[in-house]
Structure 1
Amino acid sequence: MDKKVYTMLNDQITKEYYSAYLYLQIAAYFDEHGLDGYAGWYEKQAQEEEEHAMKFYRYLHENGQAVKLGQIDAPDVTFSDFLEPVKAALGHEQYITGCINDIMAAAQNVHDYRTVEFLQWFVHEQGEEEVNANRMVQLMETFGGKKIGLFFLNEKVKERQ
């Protein structure tokens, strides 16, 4: 495997675990404000990010590459309203999409089509993640400023399986 592609894939494990940490911090914020639906939504997001990290971990091992885990920093975020965390989540998903695109470009550049094929799942997943995160922002902007709207939004996001 190309050294640059390997390094990027390995680094993505840390980025995915950081994503999980960020979503747990967001979940904690909502939990502390009694919004258990939103807390549950972001707890599930955190679990998904851990699963994504493990996909990269397994891919490296399946391709004979050593995994070198990086340090996971605590998210340095504070929120003053309910819109800020959902906007932070959208911004973070856009950042992760850029990271996946960068790895894809590097893999294509060295004709590493196995990695390109592996990354296709993440390209699709990131599309879904951005749509969902953008929807959360739109709903919060539209209804979250009204107490009854926030109540119904919180109940709606509880339905996530």
Structure 2
Amino acid sequence: MKDIVRQKIGINVDIMDMLNEQISKEAHSSSAYLAMASWCDHNGLTGSAEFLYKQSLEERDHMMKIFRFINENGGTAYSPEVSNILHDFNSLQEIFETALDQEIAITKSINNIVAKCRKVQDFASENFLQWFVHEQMEEENQFRRILEMFDLMGTDGIALKLIDERIKHGE
């Protein structure tokens, strides 16, 4: 019976499985950003903390967007388990380097799903994922711009506070 139901969904079964994996990755990103925000709060970097709390919510929204897409197309979305979240960092710069690496990994994952959509001709899922392709380009760019500030301004004393303020205001 389970296989018959899976054959009647509006999206390709393999794509549904990949999207469920993506749900887990988005949940992991959301939790990782929470841990980063907590570290920033603890270390008096409130602007960066605020930014990272927003990032956490955004990743959860991404997760929910995929979750709903699967269910609305007759599939079954699975609530993810989240583990292996890094909580200890050496610097604010390390946090943003880690965040960029995380976003690059998410981009690669989305691109792999899009490629599979094309291969199996799941045009609805490919169309849905185009929003994520664009979003990931913006996310990576945002983190690259933040990391450029460390290169330009340094990482000590007042430079760190200025970077924290600029991150808060989205500059």
TM-score using structure 1 length: 0.94
After TM superposition, list the pairs within 5 Å mapping 1:12-161 onto structure 2: 12-160=22-170
8 Å CA contact 1:21, 1:74 repeated in 2 = no
Counterpart code for 2:48: Y
Greater Rg, structure 1 or structure 2?
Answer: 2
- Contact 2:100 2:144 (C-alpha < 8 Å) held by counterparts: yes
Could you tell me how far apart the structure 1 residues matched to 2:158 and 2:99 are?
A: 23
Q: Please list every run of 5 or more consecutive structure 1 residues that lacks an aligned counterpart in the other structure.
A: none
1:128-149 Cα shifts (integer Å, max 9, x gaps): 0000011111112322423111
Q: Residue 4 of structure 1: CA displacement?
A: 1.4
Aligned Cα root-mean-square deviation (Å): 1.2
SS at match of 2:59: helix
SS in 2 for 1:31: helix
SS at match of 1:141: helix
- Matches of 2:87 and 2:18, distance apart in 1: 25
For 1:73 and 1:41, the matched residues in 2 are separated by 22
Compute the TM-score of the two structures, normalised by the length of structure 2. 0.89
**Cα distance in 1 between the residues matched to 2:154 and 2:67:** 38
Moved over 4 A (4+): none
- Contact (CA 8 Å) 2:27, 2:80: kept in 1 or not? no
Decide which moves more: 60-69 or 40-49.
60-69
1:30 and 1:39 in contact (8 A); partners too: yes
Amino acid at match of 1:145: T
1:11 is the counterpart of 2:28: no
Q: SS of the counterpart of 1:76?
A: coil
Tell me by how many angstroms 1:50 deviates: 0.5
Aligned residues: 160
Deviation at 1:77, TM superposition (A): 4.7
